[in-house]
Amino acid sequence: MRIPLIFFAASLSVLAQTNPHRTDWSHAARWGVFTHYLADKGTSVEDWNRRVDGFDVELMARQLERVGARYYFITLGQNSGHYIAPNAAYDRHTGIRPSKCARRDLVADLHKALSARGIRLLVYLPSGAPDEDEPAMKALGWRKSGFDYGFTEGGAGLRLVEFQRKWESVIREWSMRWSSRISGWWFDGCYWPNAMYRHADPPNFASLAAAARAGNPQTIVAFNQGVIVPILSITPEEDYTAGEINDPVPVRSNGRWRDGAQFHMLSYLGKAWAQGPPRFTDEQAVQFTKQIVDKGGVVSWDVPVRWNGEIPGEFLKQLLAIRRVSDVK
C-alpha cells in the first residue's frame, strides 16, 4: 500500500513526540552549562597533570546545583593534544611518551560529584586529531584542517579512513570506561560531512555514533558542522542538534524536534567562547533561553571556568537569573 508522503511525514512526527526518546531527560532539563577546560599550546605534561589534579569536582558540583543546572558539558581536550582522562588506545596509536592524557580520570571524578546531586555529565570532543600536535596527527593519519589546505566539500582524500577507524577506537575506549556515567557526546568539527561521514559503509556517521554509545546505548550524540542558522540536524544518526550559535538573537524554535532530533542551541554568555565578561544583561540571557525552552527546545550556555573549576561570580549571577526559566514553567 502506498502511503501519501504528507501522511507519512506527519506520522513520523507523532512517533518522535510520543515514543520514548534518548533525549527525554534533556528536554525535561531545559538548559545546562558548558565549559571549555583546555591546555594552552606548549603546556608540559607535568603542568597539565597539576592543573587537572587541581580541578575541584565538589566545587563545580555545588555551583551547578546552586544555579539549578541539570546537566554539564566539559571538554575532553582539543588542539593541544592534552586530554582530561587516560586513554590507552590514544597512547597506543600515537606512541607519545609520557602520555598527554591526564593521569587523573577527571570525567569519572566529576560524575561521582555530579550524580550525587542529580546532575548529568556530557563530554565534548573534536571529530579530528589535535591540530597543534604534529606527532599525534601523523601517527593518527590526520591531515590538518581542510581550510588550511584549500580543500572543498567533497575534496579528494578527506574521508581519511585510517584516521577515522583509529579515532573511533579512542572514543570507544572512553565510552566503555565511563559507561552510563556520561549521558552524551558533542562532536565538533564535522565540517565535511559528505566527504567523511555520509557513506553506506563504515567509517561513517553510524559507526562514529556506535563508538560513542559502545558503553551506554542511551548516550545521546550530536555532530557539529559549524555555525549554521537556522539550526538543523545534519544526520539521522544524531539525537539532538549541535546548534553552535554565535548570536542567539535570531534563533527560534518552532517545537521540540528539528529533522527528528531534539532542538538544542549551544552559545556563550561571555564575549567569546570561554571568555568574559558577560556580553548580555541578565534579562537578555533569560529571554534568549526562554524563547527556546518554552517551545520544547534545550539551551546550553558556555561560561568561563578557572583551573580549579571555579565559575567566575558574574557568570554565576547570570546563571542564577537563568534558573528562573526552570523554576517557573
Residue matched to cell numbers 563545580: 60
Write down the pLDDT at residue 5: 39
Residues 200-212, buried b or exposed e (16+ Cβ, 10 A)? eebbbbbbbbbbb
Write down the pLDDT at residue 145: 56
Q: What is the pLDDT along the chain (329 residues), one digit of tens a residue?
A: 334 433 333 444 444 555 789 999 999 999 999 999 999 989 999 999 999 999 999 999 999 999 999 999 999 999 999 999 999 999 999 999 999 999 999 999 999 999 999 999 999 999 999 999 999 999 999 987 554 444 444 444 578 999 999 999 999 999 999 999 999 999 999 998 998 999 999 999 999 999 999 999 999 999 999 999 999 999 999 999 999 999 999 998 999 999 999 999 999 999 999 999 999 999 999 999 999 999 999 999 999 999 999 999 999 999 999 998 876 44
- The Cα–Cα gap between 266 and 34 comes to 8
Number of domains in the chain: 1
Q: Does 162 fall in a domain? A: yes
CATH, residue 41: 3.20.20.80
Beta strands 120-126 and 184-188 are parallel
Q: Does 8 fall in a domain? A: no
Q: Does 250 fall in a domain? A: yes
Q: Does 21 fall in a domain? A: no
Backbone phi, psi, residue 47, to 5°: -60, -40
What is the DSSP-derived secondary structure letter of residue 248? -
Q: Does 13 fall in a domain? A: no
> Domain containing 158: what range?
31-327
Q: Does 17 fall in a domain? A: no
